[in-house]
Chain A
Amino acid sequence: MKEEKKKLEGMGEKILKDVEKGENPNIDIPLRTLSNVKYDEKSGMLTIGDKSAKRYFFNVAHAKKFTQTMMVAAFAKELVDEGIHTSLRDAFYALKRTFPNSNENTFDEQSESDPIIVDIEVALDILREQLHLSADVRGRVVGDVVIEDRGDSVDWSKLGSGGWSIPSNVEEIKFKKVKADFILVIEKNAAFERLHEDKFWQKHKCILLTTQGQAARGVRRLIQLLSTEYKLPVYVMTDIDSYGLYIYSVIKRGSISLSHVSDRLGTPNAKFLGLTMDDIEKYGLQKFTIKAEETDIKRAQELMNYEWFKSPEWQRQLKMLVQKKIKAELEALSGRGLKFMTETYLPEKLKKKEFLD
């Protein structure tokens, strides 16, 4: 029997046992809050702590969430049994209905069902992809790579301007050919397209990947697989602002809210290429900076308090951001000319190995 199936069944059996024993049926769910996230220096990743919360059925504040958890678990069991995959949004619609003899809905918003799915992941120590549930597809990649996906052979170098769209579940992908020296991860789609058009990846023998914002789980898993299996260094390029820096942090260390799966999604050897606060001066981008808003500053101060941003170099970068109250986007490089990034900035950076860790 498959692991996920066994775990889902076990969850149901446990509840039934509680009822038979006359106990208040409950599910034990590890907490996913900052207070329960630990930075593991050895692995360089975030891990979930040992605090957990019990969700009871006979508790007015818990009863509905308990019921929702049972519904989602049963739904996942059906997906696994029947071998169907679906999205988080579909799951929400499949489970949304009105409780009999009431005007209360099982779920009102997708924002109610999404966290329940993560609850089950954490409670059963299982990936939601294993439960056949996936988030929206986001992220694209190009490079001299050939893979097999559901029996189709896909050559990442021959997919025109768009590249390969990274699916949410990359577990079943087989790599046929990987010819690259490193992986360049770009936050912004526009920068990705610029580099792709300039054939940067061919010239510099790399895999070029854009996260299109915060990295989706499929993207993170793909980066991890490629970098560990083919020993490829990973360089991340984002805006220099608290949001961009956290994208880098999530790729490298895992995220706070999904700290339980860092070992499957994190790439601890990933390095930060830019933009740095120093780049602004060095590459004459002062004119192209943006004023940092209050929320940026606040978030940057939060980052400064994270254990994994405690290195003197990161503290210096964040301090500059907070003090100068400026930030810069990747597009700022275009201020110096459209090919500045491809022909000057990146080659220099890569050559000097100017990375932040």
Chain B
Amino acid sequence: MTEQRILTAEEMAKTMREVSVAEFFEKNRHLLGYENTTKALITIVKELVDNSLDAADEAGILPEIKVQIKEVGPDRFRISNEDNGPGVVAEKVPLAFGSLLYGSKFHRLRQSRGTQGIGVSGAILFSQLTTGKHAKITSSTGKAIHEFEIGIDVAKNQPHVFSQKEAKNPDKWHGIRIEMEAEGRYIEGKQSVAEYLKQTAIANPHAKIIYDGPNGKITFDRALKEIPKQPKEIRPHPYGIELGIFRRMVSGTKARNVVGFMTSEFSRVGKGSAEQICKLAKIEFSRKPQNLGPDETERLHKAMQMVKLIAPPTDVLSPMGEHVITEGLKKELKAEFFVAVTRPPAVYRGNPFQVEVGLAYGGELAEQDTAQLFRFANKVPLLYHQSDCATTSAATDVSWRAYGLSQSGGGLPQGPVAILVHFASVWVPFTSEGKQAIAEYPEIVKEIKLALQDAGRKLSHFINQRKRTQAQAMRRQIFERYIPVVAEALAKLTGKDEKIILKKFEDIVKRKAEILAQEQEAKEGEKGVEDVGEVIGESKVIEKEKGSEEE
């Protein structure tokens, strides 16, 4: 009797899991981007769009994404997203979108967009929790079109398929369309769906995004036809591994001894280094990793940090590139000047990362405003917690005045300028689970600063050049304004023909104005020989031979 009641460990884990899926979501809304209704709407769009972009990029397709948001009731919206990606085969659709595969990307060290939450399934779960409705998913790989109505069985963390239809596909459409209804609050402004999509468009100029929102339709056109290079997956480097993850790796490894575990699961650890680590940790080479006690694991982890190792490979990242950044900015900002700087890859705590920045200046950017800061982590816009972000502290740390911008007391520069910072890494060190701000590792802040300074120098060339041309034009304008009056006066004084005099002056302006303007500029640098004071203060004093003034 009693035997039957005893649950196996596996069953126990299962029950725990059954409870936890819904509970996990409820308790961790704030970690997953659903803490309030405004943000929830942005998060849903974000999960859908990120998913579409990743899928298209991986399949080598130029993405075209249609996002639609419709108000269907008070605080209720219908959100749909359609892409032209490779699609998901029919059998895998329910599992891909109807269960929360949380933690599946945990060991995967690769620069990817999808580190933001729990993906599309999370969005579907939120939809289900707030409205009780099923999500509609249409998918095709180019053959038949499959249409599903899906819910998530929260208790089992399993997809619940309510209906499934198949239709012909004469146009050979491929891609995925997801539709769901959710509670939300729709706003415009700095933290909004439209802004998120605009910034996504900046970071992904190879994508075309059509947004049909409650306030009208916006098309973010494609500016480039090159598909970004795919980032490579790497094994973690010992310097960057957290103890918790390390423990999970130890217990999950298939390696039969500690040395083998380290050489096979980490990058830059050879046999020699592995043995050295073991010696330091006082652990025999042949120990089975799974049998290590907690103390031993910790010793091993500590020892890993102490051994000298080569830095991880850095060619695994996929930066946007200077060209893409300038094209992205050009596409969405009506500015006059664009510049981008991609830094060489660097490493923080064993994780390769790369920083790139872009600046847009002038044009229709507002003269009086504080600069806009567009922050991206692995090409995903960060809309919240700007003040906690490494990008912000680096950007405020730069002396923008040196580059011709104004800046007051440790803030962002002021003037018609927009700043883009992209942080690409296999592991983005977010300050919190909200994943909206990058932690201020000195290496990271330094790289961002260097990139911004480099871009700032290029901007200052432009600003100086522009100031010069403006000053020249202004000078010329001044002379041209006075010339008719001077010519008229000279005609009166000399009795000569005014038109002839005017012509002579116009000739000399053409020939001389620029040269003289430059000469003048050079002179302005020096100070006058003597401060001549009130009467003809600005004239330059020259000494005259005595007696020559008498006629």
Chain B hits for A257, CB < 8 A: 535
A64-B482, A71-B485 known; A9 vs B494 contact (CB < 8 Å): yes
Question: Complex Cα distance A58/B495, Å?
Answer: 23
| Nearest B-chain residue to A81, judged by Cβ | B492
Q: Is B490 an interface residue (CB 8 A)?
A: yes
User: What is the 8 Å Cβ interface bit string for chain B, positions 473-496, against chain A (1 contact, 0 not)?
Assistant: 011001101101110111011111
Of A24-32, A220-228, A229-237, A265-273, the one contacting chain B is A24-32
Chain A hits for B475, CB < 8 A: 60
Q: Is A174 an interface residue (CB 8 A)?
A: no
Specify which of A31, A65, A67, A101 is in contact with B541 (CB 8 Å cutoff): A31
Chain A hits for B530, CB < 8 A: 35, 51
A33-B533, A35-B533, A99-B481 known; A53 vs B540 contact (CB < 8 Å): yes
Closest CB-CB distance, A212 to chain B, in whole Å? Answer: 25
Chain B hits for A100, CB < 8 A: 481, 484
Q: Is A152 an interface residue (CB 8 A)?
A: no
Question: Complex Cα distance A50/B494, Å?
Answer: 28
Q: Do A115 and B535 have beta carbons less than 8 Å apart?
A: yes
Of B25-33, B95-103, B242-250, B511-519, the one contacting chain A is B511-519
Which chain A residues numbered 7 to 21 have a C-beta less than 8 Å away from chain B? Answer: 8-9, 11-13, 15-16, 19-20
Q: Is B520 an interface residue (CB 8 A)?
A: yes
Of A72-80, A132-140, A297-305, A306-314, the one contacting chain B is A72-80
User: What is the 8 Å Cβ interface bit string for chain A, positions 187-231, against chain B (1 contact, 0 not)?
Assistant: 000000000000000000000000000000000000000000000
Q: Is B543 an interface residue (CB 8 A)?
A: yes
A20-B504, A31-B541, A74-B492 known; A55 vs B478 contact (CB < 8 Å): no
Q: Do A60 and B520 have beta carbons less than 8 Å apart?
A: yes
Question: Complex Cα distance A204/B505, Å?
Answer: 65
Minimum-distance CB pairs A-B, first 8:
A12-B493, A53-B539, A74-B489, A70-B489, A74-B492, A12-B494, A58-B516, A67-B482
A33-B533, A35-B530 known; A54 vs B481 contact (CB < 8 Å): no
**8 A-B pairs in the complex with CB atoms less than 8 angstroms apart:** A11-B493, A28-B544, A33-B535, A35-B533, A51-B544, A55-B539, A58-B513, A58-B516
Most chain B CB within 10 A, of A55, A58, A63, A78, is at: A58
Closest CB-CB distance, B498 to chain A, in whole Å? Answer: 11
Q: Is B536 an interface residue (CB 8 A)?
A: yes
Chain A hits for B188, CB < 8 A: none
Q: Do B481 and A104 have beta carbons less than 8 Å apart?
A: yes
Chain B hits for A70, CB < 8 A: 485-486, 489-490, 493
Q: Do B549 and A30 have beta carbons less than 8 Å apart?
A: yes
Q: Do B496 and A59 have beta carbons less than 8 Å apart?
A: no
Chain A hits for B488, CB < 8 A: 74
Q: Is B546 an interface residue (CB 8 A)?
A: yes
Which chain B residues numbered 183 to 235 have a C-beta less than 8 Å away from chain A? Answer: none
Chain A hits for B533, CB < 8 A: 33-35
Q: Do B546 and A50 have beta carbons less than 8 Å apart?
A: yes
A24-B516, A33-B534, A115-B535 known; A16 vs B490 contact (CB < 8 Å): yes
Q: Is A1 an interface residue (CB 8 A)?
A: no
Given pairs A51-B543, A63-B478, 14 additional interface contacts (CB within 8 A):
A12-B492, A19-B501, A28-B544, A29-B539, A31-B532, A33-B535, A52-B541, A59-B520, A60-B474, A60-B478, A62-B539, A64-B478, A74-B489, A99-B485
Most chain B CB within 10 A, of A28, A63, A64, is at: A63
Chain A hits for B474, CB < 8 A: 60
Chain B hits for A8, CB < 8 A: 493
Q: Do B479 and A63 have beta carbons less than 8 Å apart?
A: yes
Specify which of B479, B534, B549, B551 is in contact with A58 (CB 8 Å cutoff): B479
Question: Complex Cα distance A115/B539, Å?
Answer: 14
> How many residues of A are counted as interface, with CB atoms below 8 angstroms from the partner's CB atoms?
52
Chain B hits for A32, CB < 8 A: 535-536
Q: Is B542 an interface residue (CB 8 A)?
A: yes
Q: Is B550 an interface residue (CB 8 A)?
A: yes
Question: Complex Cα distance A15/B483, Å?
Answer: 13
Closest CB-CB distance, A147 to chain B, in whole Å? Answer: 32
Chain A hits for B486, CB < 8 A: 57, 66-67, 70
| Nearest A-chain residue to B520, judged by Cβ | A59
Specify which of A55, A66, A74, A125 is in contact with B493 (CB 8 Å cutoff): A74
Q: Do A19 and B536 have beta carbons less than 8 Å apart?
A: no
| Nearest B-chain residue to A58, judged by Cβ | B516
Question: Complex Cα distance A11/B489, Å?
Answer: 11
Question: Complex Cα distance A52/B546, Å?
Answer: 11
Specify which of A50, A65, A115 is in contact with B543 (CB 8 Å cutoff): A50
Most chain B CB within 10 A, of A32, A74, A100, is at: A74
Question: Complex Cα distance A104/B544, Å?
Answer: 34
Q: Is B171 an interface residue (CB 8 A)?
A: no
Question: Complex Cα distance A89/B162, Å?
Answer: 96
| Nearest A-chain residue to B474, judged by Cβ | A60
Most chain A CB within 10 A, of B501, B536, B540, is at: B536
Most chain B CB within 10 A, of A11, A60, A104, A257, is at: A60
User: What is the 8 Å Cβ interface bit string for chain B, positions 445-483, against chain A (1 contact, 0 not)?
Assistant: 000000000000000000000000000001100110110
Q: Do B485 and A19 have beta carbons less than 8 Å apart?
A: no
Chain A hits for B505, CB < 8 A: 19
Q: Do B485 and A106 have beta carbons less than 8 Å apart?
A: yes
Chain B hits for A50, CB < 8 A: 543-546, 549
Question: Complex Cα distance A71/B486, Å?
Answer: 7
Question: Complex Cα distance A101/B478, Å?
Answer: 11
Chain A hits for B6, CB < 8 A: none
Closest CB-CB distance, B514 to chain A, in whole Å? Answer: 10
Q: Is B538 an interface residue (CB 8 A)?
A: yes
Closest CB-CB distance, A103 to chain B, in whole Å? Answer: 11
Chain A hits for B545, CB < 8 A: 50
